[in-house]
């Protein structure tokens, strides 16, 4: 009888340990799931921003090429004047 009670006590302790581990794993998995949910939202924003930048790339390239071509034959001081004139408000 004593041996059987001791065996049942050991099984109960083993089950309690397993249950405790399961609760800890569930908690960690919940935290990980929440973190991944936030990452998914952030990746979605990043994807939208990269898509916007990709759509603007041809126009940005054209403007950059035009500015380089326009300012190419001039010296540094004249380029600065051109850029200042270009950036100045046109009211």
Convert the pLDDT of each residue in 21-79 to its tens digit.
888 998 888 888 888 888 888 888 899 999 999 999 999 899 888 877 877 777 788 87
Domain total of the chain:
1
pTM of the predicted structure, to 2 decimals: 0.43
Q: d(Cα 78, Cα 8) in Å, to the nearest integer?
A: 93
**CA-to-CA separations, 66 to 11, 14, 32, 58, 80, in angstroms, rounded:** 80, 75, 49, 12, 16
> Which residues neighbour 83 within 8 Å (Cβ) at sequence distance 6 or greater?
71
Tell me what pLDDT residue 51 has.
93
Domain that holds residue 44: 2-87
């Amino acid at each position: 009888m004593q041996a059987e009670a001791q065996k049942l006590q050991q099984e109960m302790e083993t089950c309690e340990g397993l249950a405790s581990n399961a609760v800890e794993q569930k908690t960690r998995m919940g935290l990980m799931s929440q973190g991944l949910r936030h990452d998914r939202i952030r990746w979605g924003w990043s994807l939208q921003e990269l898509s916007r930048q990709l759509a603007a790339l041809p126009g940005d390239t054209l403007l950059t090429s035009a500015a380089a071509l326009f300012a190419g034959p001039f010296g540094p001081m004249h380029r600065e004047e051109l850029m200042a004139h270009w950036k100045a408000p046109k009211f």
